Structure 1
């Protein structure tokens, strides 16, 4: 027995691991300061100390069996969105993909969406892989959002064996920070449902739409059979999304969640963080929008081309009219005494972005513009340069 105890002690010594650094508190504070100057994505927000404390008091349970805090959050999300049921999931991508897989029964079929949609461009081809569905990528005629006319002109109906008929029309609101007018969504929904088809919404940042338009969440969700909503983007929770829909839809989606490997265990610290974010961070989005508009106004004053305006939390820009390219801007921003991180032509303002970070970014661009003029660059506010609408460089960001 003594020999076995010694072996166990030796193995335990190999297994043990302290993940905390000797300066963890200082490291975490530094990370918070860095996030405040990071314009790459709102997914990079970090939990506040108050959120951690709140999460530590949540219930104890197993979500595959029974987890009270998670069940409470799901019930609240269903009520908030005007749906019968909800399902907590680890990511927006999984939420979208499980929604599509639950709606789609047997190929051949297609999903109609905007050509810029996250489900099409940034979910690793999941619609084809998980559901065996093809995607119909539609370019909005107005360059901003899909309209009923766009959908009607591109939808595939009927039983012609040469085509995969559309079974789901998937919209995204916001899409690259822009808002789809609710009256247009209703018109599309009425038409799609009249054809016996389904409507899904990637509403990862639908919270921003509610704040900006003053429309309640249940009204925004009403035209859709299913909606995916994220807690880890604009709301600043560490992880998680929620899928909402009918009772039967969510029952089957829960099955697919297990099949996809998304059945989690002690989820209360995650769902409690989401609840904290709903209560304390959602109201802060109005200030986020104001700061994004301040950033846009500052860029315009410098003569920088705005390729997509700050309707909510994002600004797309092209600095070529002042002689600056993105590679130079990224390098100079990172070289500041207090570095700023950007991901290219998309600037994302979030709940932890500071006014000082916006001011410093604008000051840097002003300095670069003056340097270019001194070097002989001909100032041209009307130049289009590298502008390409809502297509942006992803120098760092690999997901939404």
Structure 2
């Protein structure tokens, strides 16, 4: 008996020792000794970053609010998340809402939920996020053909554009159009609501569906002083982001009828998007709606200041600051995007730029805008001193010059 007891104790000791080794291998501490200082530096960097509004970070106040959220499992029931969904459904005037991890997930699940059995097609602007920046999701997830349209007015789709391209024929050579998907804002520009209503009336008369990629619809509401409900009314489904413009770390909501959202919830699970303790994320979104949405008018004002400064220096504005984005071309002052980016990166407090698109967000500092303009102005003056003369854009030489100096980036990214 003593021998058996000894063997048992030895086995237990060995197991404990082995488990201690496994536990030691599993351990991880992701916090560096300087992580607090690094976060402070990152927050400073973000105030001087113009590449997107997705790079905004939670404030300490948002963090603190998030820690008070409920601790449910969203695949079953999560109270804070359900409260967010109910609120977003209410302000959009829809029956139900579904919390999702991203705008791409929200758009793609919306399309999949509307569409039943191919063949079918989706109409959208040729610059639309669902067409260019969602990895071909409409084809992969829904088996849908996408009909990208170039707006005749070069700003937004019109009823005439949709009527001319919508496939209503029963000809077996074509994929009938089942969904018209619009985007507002698109590249920071506002889609006129009266045109949206005209398109919606026509599409619904054909018995088809309307979807809105409203990732930055908050900007439209702030700039036009129009309720979210009114902006969403013409659509059967709407995707709204909390991490673009509003400054939450993660999340979007998809809204629509109760039956539509029930189907979308099933697809969310099917696509691997069922999430667990989402209360902390819902709380961040709620904080953003309450405290960050009111900051958007100031964002638009700062964007217009940047646009006016660039124009005063002589840069060409290729897409105006209707909300938070400006697209510009510095070739008219003899400067390239690379030169601006390199000079900006050499400042005592560097700026982070991304080419032709400039995005102002709730954490952009006015000092960063002033420094950006100073860099462009300084480079412009240096070019003048070196003998640069602004070319006549109508001349052959002007066109050649433009080809040399312009490196246009895509007019839409996250």
**Residue of structure 2 aligned with 1:121, choices 126, 132, 135:** 132
Q: With structure 2 as the length reference, what TM-score do the two structures score?
A: 0.93
Match of 2:88?
77
How many Å separate the matches in 1 of 2:258 and 2:201?
Answer: 22
Match of 2:274?
263
**Residue of structure 1 aligned with 2:191, choices 177, 180, 183:** 180
How many Å separate the matches in 2 of 1:9 and 1:361?
Answer: 55
How many Å separate the matches in 2 of 1:386 and 1:330?
Answer: 19
How many Å separate the matches in 2 of 1:241 and 1:260?
Answer: 16
Q: Is the 8 A contact 1:304 1:381 kept in 2?
A: no
**Residue of structure 2 aligned with 1:193, choices 204, 217, 225:** 204
Q: Is the 8 A contact 2:182 2:212 kept in 1?
A: yes
Shift of 1:376: 1.3
Q: Is the 8 A contact 1:321 1:381 kept in 2?
A: no
Q: With structure 1 as the length reference, what TM-score do the two structures score?
A: 0.97
Match of 1:148?
159
Task: Say if 2:171 is the partner of 1:160.
Answer: yes
**Residue of structure 1 aligned with 2:409, choices 393, 396, 400:** 393
Task: Say if 2:240 is the partner of 1:229.
Answer: yes
| 3-state SS, counterpart of residue 81 of structure 2 | helix
Task: Say if 2:316 is the partner of 1:305.
Answer: yes
Q: Deviations over 1:37-92 (max 9, x none)?
A: 00000000000000000001100110001100000000000001000000000000
How many Å separate the matches in 2 of 1:399 and 1:217?
Answer: 23
How many Å separate the matches in 1 of 2:116 and 2:408?
Answer: 35
**Residue of structure 2 aligned with 1:26, choices 26, 30, 37:** 37
Larger radius of gyration: 2
Q: Is the 8 A contact 1:39 1:341 kept in 2?
A: yes
Q: Is the 8 A contact 1:62 1:264 kept in 2?
A: yes
Match of 1:379?
390
| 3-state SS, counterpart of residue 62 of structure 1 | coil
More displaced 10-residue stretch of structure 1: 71-80 or 370-379: 370-379
Task: Say if 2:146 is the partner of 1:130.
Answer: no
How many Å separate the matches in 2 of 1:233 and 1:190?
Answer: 29
Match of 1:61?
72
How many Å separate the matches in 2 of 1:141 and 1:250?
Answer: 34
| 3-state SS, counterpart of residue 162 of structure 1 | coil
Task: List, as ranges, runs of 4+ consecutive aligned residues in structure 1 with deviation greater than 2 Å.
Answer: 379-387
Match of 1:274?
285
- Unmatched tracts of structure 2, length 5 or more: 1-11
Match of 2:358?
347
Shift of 1:380: 4.5
Match of 2:20?
9
The structure-2 alpha-carbon separation of the partners of 1:308 and 1:381, relative to structure 1 and needing over 3 Å to count, comes to farther
Q: Is the 8 A contact 2:54 2:244 kept in 1?
A: yes
Shift of 1:158: 2.2
More displaced 10-residue stretch of structure 1: 90-99 or 371-380: 371-380
How many Å separate the matches in 2 of 1:327 and 1:258?
Answer: 44
Match of 2:304?
293
The structure-2 alpha-carbon separation of the partners of 1:152 and 1:386, relative to structure 1 and needing over 3 Å to count, comes to farther
Q: Is the 8 A contact 1:344 1:392 kept in 2?
A: yes
Q: Deviations over 1:354-396 (max 9, x none)?
A: 0000000000000100111111111358667659xxx9526xx
How many Å separate the matches in 2 of 1:168 and 1:32?
Answer: 41
- Unmatched tracts of structure 1, length 5 or more: none
Match of 2:249?
238
Match of 1:104?
115
Match of 1:37?
48
| Number of equivalences | 395
| 3-state SS, counterpart of residue 54 of structure 2 | helix
Q: Is the 8 A contact 2:109 2:264 kept in 1?
A: yes
